[in-house]
Structure 1
Amino acid sequence: MTSLPAFAVASLILVALPGPNLIYIITRSVQDGRRAGIVSALGVETGTLIHITAAVCGLATLITDHPLAFTVLRYMGAGYLAYLGVRVLIRRPPFAADADDRPARRRLLRLYRDAVLVNLLNPKVVLFFLAFLPQFLPTGLTPADTRTRMLVLGAVFLAIALALDLCYALIGAALTSRLRGTPRRDRRLSYLTGGIYLGLAALVFS
């Protein structure tokens, strides 16, 4: 597949661009530690896997071909980001990321779920897989060959995105000691994180 190197480079550039996924992973790492960041990265890429499956099966086209469905998806995504922002602003201080207890595990599961939804409810990701992947497919393919090629490209994208997301999680965790440590710092960080989510929600609405 001669277009595979070009696709890998393009995917690397697109994944590196700031967006809700990147910001969610870094903020979760900074606030809740390395484990939370890694779990968030896995959740985001679970959402990517679902997007790839939907694109291969043609479900993404159903959304973009119906403006109302696409608008509903966009508003749901913005609403969920706003919900996350408000929740961060009113939450208690971050939990100990390395605590091995049931409440911590439950919280990690919630962070994973949130990451999946942040990705799934991002309409720009749907457009990405609908408009971007087909550009790297040769013409004249049978439907079966098209699905196979899309799966290969999707796997390449997923591998690149997961590697970068895990790097973001580690970077965010490395910043924890600098940005947290006192109740005042923790509260300021919560205000900053909540404000970022609300700002992203406003951008999606616009």
Structure 2
Amino acid sequence: MSIEFWLTTLVIVATPGTGALFTLAAGLSRGTRASVIAAFGCTLGVVPHMIAAITGLAALLNASAVAFQTLKYLGVAYLLYMAWSTFRDKGALTVPEDAQADTSSARKVITSAVLLNILNPKLTIFFFAFLPQFVPNDAPNALARMLELSGVFMLATFVVFAVYGVCAAAVRNQVISRPAVVTWMRRVFGASFIALAGRLALQNQ
């Protein structure tokens, strides 16, 4: 596995985006366990894009403006929903009050994390353009090679996002003990989700 693949993967994964933002929010609001769950959910959300790239479905998405726009605006709508939920104290920054609420919150965290990555057409096209560069056309067992590289990318995603979340969880007590700070953070994260929705809406194929 080339050093170029590792460096490209780390740069892409470590660049702050929707998944990293959501994982940070989960760590700050619910602690280490929730941040790891969010990181795992974001990693699971990569799987459909990986399958699409390997099976060639990404080529169809790249070629079809209608398919791309449909998935893109579904992603925009979900990001706006996340912003609305955050502003209403029912999103990623809601602090659970008991064990039952915490269990329910864990389900919501992983579901939201998966959907955030699934509804991102750029991720599918990224896989379609990224993986083949490191798998020569005449390479034996090309499918196995692409699966291996995808697995490494997913592992890097999980590790980096989990580190983000755990670091956020480390300062959680200082945050949740100050209602004014929590309110400010909800506004910042809600506005960030809106900004990400706007950026996604302006993206082209």
| TM-score for both structures, normalised by structure 2 | 0.90
Residues 159-204 of structure 1, C-alpha deviation per residue, up to 9 Å, x if partnerless? 1111111101111112323333122222111111111111111111
Query: Which residue of structure 1 aligns with residue 104 of structure 2?
Result: 106
Would you say 1:181 and 2:187 are equivalent positions?
A: no
**3-state DSSP class of the match of 2:45?**
helix
The corresponding residue for 2:124 is 126
Deviation of residue 95 (structure 1)? Answer: 2.2
Residue 57 of structure 2 corresponds to 59
Pairwise CA RMSD? 1.8
Q: Which residue number corresponds to residue 11 of structure 1?
A: 9
Range with greater deviation from structure 2 (109-118 or 182-191): 182-191
Could you say which residue in structure 2 is the equivalent of 1:70? Answer: 68
What's the counterpart of residue 146 of structure 2?
A: 150
Aligned residue for 1:138, secondary structure, equals coil
Partner residue in 2 for 1:95 = 95
Q: CA deviation at 1:139?
A: 2.7
* Match of residue 32 from structure 2: 34
> 1:120-151 deviations in whole A, cap 9, x for unaligned?
11122112101111111113246xx2221110
What runs of 5+ residues in structure 2 fail to find an aligned partner? none
Mapped partners of 1:150, 1:108: distance in 2: 31
Deviation, structure 1 residue 31? 2.1
Identity, in percent, stands at 28
User: Structure 2 counterpart of 1:94, which letter?
Assistant: T
- In structure 2, how many angstroms separate the alpha carbons of the residues matched to 1:4 and 1:160? 15
1:200 aligned partner = 196
Q: Residues of 2 paired with 1:175 and 1:65: CA distance?
A: 45
Name structure 1 gaps, 5 residues minimum: none
Q: Count residues in correspondence.
A: 200
In 1, Cα distance between equivalents of 2:77 and 2:52: 22
What TM-score do the two structures reach when normalised by structure 1?
0.90
| CA distance in 1 between partners of 2:3 and 2:114 (Å) | 28
8 Å CA contact retained: 2:54, 2:128:
no
Structure 1 CA distance for aligned equivalents of residues 144 and 134 of structure 2: 13
Return structure 1 stretches of 4+ with deviation > 4 angstroms: none
